[in-house]
Chain A
Amino acid sequence: MSTISEAEVQKVAHLARLAIPADKTASYVSKLSNILDLVAQLTAVNTTGVAPMAHPLDAVQRLREDVVTETNQREAYQAVAPEVEDGLYLVPKVIE
């Protein structure tokens, strides 16, 4: 009995814009289910009073002063772009 369905795998793949060939779906279902089953074992642990861990490092965020340090490097950055025009990056048309 797998914890994740074929439909769910397809949905997650779609959301992540990953293509999964139809003949590979079953294999993904079983591998992902194994991972989820492992994680499910953790739910058996009593976590009352344990603060959820947002990050494995036992440290807090260091903050930056609000100062502009970057200069215009558009030419250098756009040199590797497939297509640019009037300073804009061009991408395949997106219509809402």
Chain B
Amino acid sequence: MEWETVIGLEIHAQLATNSKIFSGSSTAYGAEPNTQASLVDLGMPGVLPVLNKKAVEMAIRFGLAINATITPRSVFARKNYFYPDLPKGYQISQFELPVVAQGYLDIELDDGSSKRIGVTRAHLEEDAGKSLHEDFHGKTGIDLNRAGTPLLEIVSEPDLRSAKEAVAYMKKMHALVRYLGVCDGNMQEGSFRCDANVSVRKPGQPFGTRAEIKNLNSFRFIERAIHYEVERQIELLESGGKVIQETRLYDPDQGETRSMRSKEDANDYRYFPDPDLLPVEITATEIEAIRATLPELPTAKKQRFMQTYHLGSYEADALTSSSELGDYFERVAQGTQDAKLAANWLMGGLAALLNKHELEISAAPVAAETLTQLLNRIKDQTLSSTAAKDVLEALWQGEGSVDAIIEAKGLKQISDTSAIEAMLDEIIANNPSQVAEYRSGKDKLFAFFVGQAMRASKGKANPSTVNDILKQKLEG
């Protein structure tokens, strides 16, 4: 009998606030070590945490977007453990009464069907600092700039059944938090990362013992780490072994997960309500005020793109992966009155350039209005698609406006029928034997004539005009 994979994800999304969750320190990334660590972040005696209003609002915003229950009276708790980058000896988190409870997210599967993934809860907590294990004379260096950065921990139900589903869920969440503006989603900087709880079982059996894979910060790693872990557990079980509940770390260089520490001890966090913080009350009025500011969400936008612009599911998915990309597409689609062409260029030429330069659409040097002008030059037959690609490259390099580049590079397409006719007449006159062969039934030679025409015009002849006229002339 086949094994079934069971996965639950805990996503940590760093909230895009200016200041920390319990102190007025900046959360800006990349500062000199410990220059953004105040007395509260350092866990000095006698200081008190004061909760950041924006962090609570962002948690509510997220909760509403996943159709969750917003807890009217939520409570902060201390999670106790010892580690040098956690100066207080506890992390302020939420345990019994998180801000966000019971929501869901629908993901799309390969076969086009959709699957509902339960979200058990999402709670607010503070991040820990960073330990640097490079050699400081046999010591560990501690940077507390990150300590106290607001996190939203989003815990899924164990509803995911494959690495692929886990990645689809993670991607959808990633798009969602960015749409909502609650997290910048920067995975390299650790703003969006996840822990995966992975177990295997025979279908219909109770859940197997799970291992938790820590700190996965790329979609590729999540998929690989889960694949590896599932294989490891199955091999272990089939050879008569037992999976032990533990924390494992994914090593991207070796492509394997390794045991970090047994969770037995570490798991006993002895949560209790934090006496330094009062319960947080959230009124229905506040919730409704936040609901009124929710943007169009990815699923709704995708549906609208499919209806309004007649896009396929795959295209609509790609173009709604971020709200910026969706906006860009809409401007080009409206400017050209040709959604199909706009979609093709956004997902083709432009996407290739963005990938190559590792840029987001918001940082693209070619504005939507510029791409619109370029596509309109294809539509009015000034440019062939091939020449338009050259113009796009030049636009990207900042070589001038669309028309200036076409002029400078001499890319204007020849659509003038009489000029093309004259050229084709000459080609036909110069190749009498090929003409004879073609007329005697060697259809393949048509491509030879097109090639000649393209060479003679240096690629500028409008291919469809060439085809039409050539056909007439050769038949004649």
A contact residues vs B (CB 8 Å cutoff) = 11, 14-17, 54-55, 57, 59-70, 72-74, 77-78, 83, 85-96
Contact = CB atoms under 8 A, between A and B. Distances in A.
Nearest to A88: B141
A64 B24 CA distance: 9
B166 interface: no
Contacts of A69: 19, 24
B32 interface: yes
Contacts of B38: 70, 73
Given A62-B278, A65-B54, A66-B55, 8 more contacts: A70-B19, A72-B36, A86-B33, A88-B143, A89-B142, A89-B144, A94-B133, A94-B140
A91 B19 contact: no
Contact of B139 (A14, A61, A92): A92
Task: Summarize A's interface: helix, strand, loop or mixed.
Answer: loop
Contacts of B270: 15
Contacts of B132: 88
29 contacts: A15-B80, A16-B80, A54-B97, A55-B75, A55-B273, A59-B278, A60-B280, A61-B277, A62-B50, A62-B51, A64-B19, A64-B50, A66-B55, A68-B26, A69-B24, A70-B19, A70-B25, A77-B37, A77-B42, A78-B34, A86-B141, A87-B32, A87-B35, A88-B34, A88-B142, A89-B84, A90-B137, A94-B133, A95-B133
B24 A74 contact: no
Contacts, number: 131
B19 A63 contact: no
Contacts of A54: 75, 97, 273, 279
Nearest to A63: B53
Nearest to A17: B82
B415 interface: no
Contacts of B83: 94
Q: State the 7 A-B residue pairs at the shortest beta-carbon distance, nearest first.
A: A69-B24, A88-B141, A66-B54, A63-B53, A87-B33, A61-B278, A70-B38
Contacts of B131: 94
A66 B19 contact: yes
A85 B139 CA distance: 10
Nearest to A65: B53
A62 B53 CA distance: 9
Contact of A61 (B23, B39, B260, B281): B281
Interface of B: 17-19, 23-26, 32-39, 42, 50-56, 73, 75, 80, 82-84, 97, 131-133, 136-144, 249, 260-261, 265, 268, 270, 273, 275, 277-281
A87 B83 CA distance: 19
A52 B260 CA distance: 37
Contact of B52 (A15, A63, A74, A93): A63
A9 to B, nearest CB: 14
Which residue, of A55, A65, A85, A88, has the highest number of chain B Cβ atoms within 10 A? A88
Contacts of B277: 55, 61
A83 B139 contact: yes
A14 B144 CA distance: 26
A66 to B, nearest CB: 4
A86 B136 CA distance: 10
A69 B38 CA distance: 10
A68 B24 contact: yes
A66 B18 contact: yes
A64 B33 CA distance: 25
A67 B19 contact: yes
Which residue, of A11, A60, A68, A83, has the highest number of chain B Cβ atoms within 10 A? A68
A92 B24 contact: no
B140 A93 contact: yes
Given A60-B279, A85-B141, A90-B142, A68 B33 contact: no
A14 B270 CA distance: 13
Which residue, of A14, A63, A64, has the highest number of chain B Cβ atoms within 10 A? A64
